[in-house]
Chain A
Amino acid sequence: MNLKKLIVFALTCIITTQTFAHSRWILPTHFNLSAENGEWIMVDITASNETFNVDKAMGADYVQIITPSGKVTRPSSTYKGHRKSVADYFIATSGTYKLTNNNKPAYMTTYKVGEERKRIWANKAELVGKIPKNAKEIKTSYRFARIESYVTMNAPSDNFQTDGTLLELVPVTHPSDIAENEQVTFKFLFNGKAQKNVAVEVIADGARYRNDPQALKLVSNAKGEINFTPTSAGRYLLIAEHQEKISGSALADKQVGSVFLTFEAQLN
């Protein structure tokens, strides 16, 4: 990957673009478990803008569960329906498990033909012959979405490895410690470094039954951190996105990272 060698300029303003993608999330049946001999969890996997009602099934092919010892494991079984996929997993040992449903980083090009917006999964060098000659507003992004959650059985452990690819969320407050009316701190990295000005939304469960989705909007500070206090116990979806221009690349104009984290705030 030559991307790391490219000179990167911070955007001076946040460009709001209509993204093609839905919100995507995974929702485990439990975030915190007590057990002597292990417990089963099931996980819903969906692309849905409604927190937490499922909409379009995402495949479970990319679902990975990172065990407390750092081992990458797979669900014991999965099923794909029309509205959601589900994955079954046995939590065998105590500690914190990281659940992810991440695809691979990829190049996406958007363009317009007349008034019609189109997209293609290709980088700038691959476009010849793949898009019409009259295509306009051609923009290519290198993007990666992380869809993740944490499940803890008995004593929590740190399971927050990073890989330095685009946007990453590092819990400062352990997900298993999140409780109503207590401050939560999360940190964002972009290409491995603390990133300020990451745009974040935190949305409580039950959006279907509210007129106002009541998304809490936050921006990361100079340390890359956000702080917020859930005012009620329940399940929350955090959506974060950050993009940076890429200059002088033959492959892409910008790089876009996003994170979809599902967590619960416990009763206090």
Chain B
Amino acid sequence: MNIKIAGLIIMLLSLFSFNTNAHKSTVHSTEITIELALKQQSGEYHRPYVASWIESSKGKSVRTLLLWREQAKWLKDIRRWWRKAGRKDAVLVDGITAATRAAGKFKLSFLAQNDDKIDLNKGQYTLFIEVVRENGGRAIIRQPFTLDGNKESFTLAATNETDQMKFSVLPQ
């Protein structure tokens, strides 16, 4: 019984110390919102494969936010995401996979955390959105942003595959 209580106290203490450390270098509970807009297309239409992810300032993928896809054999066509993230981590791909969506608007919200659900350090990052459509085109959108406790908001210009979109970094 005493051992259990001691163990609990140590656990609580270690949690506490972890949190203080985290507070110094990370931005706790920053929310990232994307108003994703897949463009209406005319003619033959297949739902696009979509990936959105965050890269560090060194171009390393730190977090895949979303993956809308069907068959594995076409994942490689989400070129940059596949090279930077997808091909290296089958478990991650399985974990975040969702079905493709038809053209339309989608309000999405995420925490600014890495793939292991740990808050991202303060610093410079780039948001990527890659959209690839069979017998259609490919669009890649990149938007640098800063995690430093300040609010940021961006308007992402329309592409052949996306309408104008909004992207916000919202410290809680």
Judge whether A61 is part of the interface by a CB distance below 8 angstroms. Answer: no
Chain A residue with Cβ nearest B142:
A268
Pick from B87, B138, B140: contact of A154, CB under 8 Å:
B87
Known: A154-B87, A155-B87. A36 touches B72 (CB 8 A): yes
Residues 83-133 of B at the A interface (beta carbon under 8 Å): 83, 86-90
Judge whether B39 is part of the interface by a CB distance below 8 angstroms. Answer: no
Residues 54-85 of B at the A interface (beta carbon under 8 Å): 72-76, 79-80, 82-83
Describe B's contact surface by its main secondary structure: helix
- A172, B82: Cα distance in complex, Å: 20
Chain B residue with Cβ nearest A30:
B76
- The interface size bin for chain B is 10 to 19
- A268, B138: Cα distance in complex, Å: 11
Residues of A within 8 A of B79 (CB): 266-268
Residues of A within 8 A of B80 (CB): 179, 266-268
Contact B86 A34, beta carbon cutoff 8 Å: yes
Contact B73 A39, beta carbon cutoff 8 Å: yes
Most A CB atoms within 10 A — which of B74, B76, B79, B80? B76
Contact B73 A35, beta carbon cutoff 8 Å: yes
Judge whether A177 is part of the interface by a CB distance below 8 angstroms. Answer: yes
Chain A residue with Cβ nearest B88:
A155
Contact A34 B138, beta carbon cutoff 8 Å: no
Chain A residues within 8 Å of B, Cβ to Cβ = 30, 32-36, 39, 152, 154-156, 176-177, 179, 266-268
Chain B residues within 8 Å of A, Cβ to Cβ = 72-76, 79-80, 82-83, 86-90, 138, 140
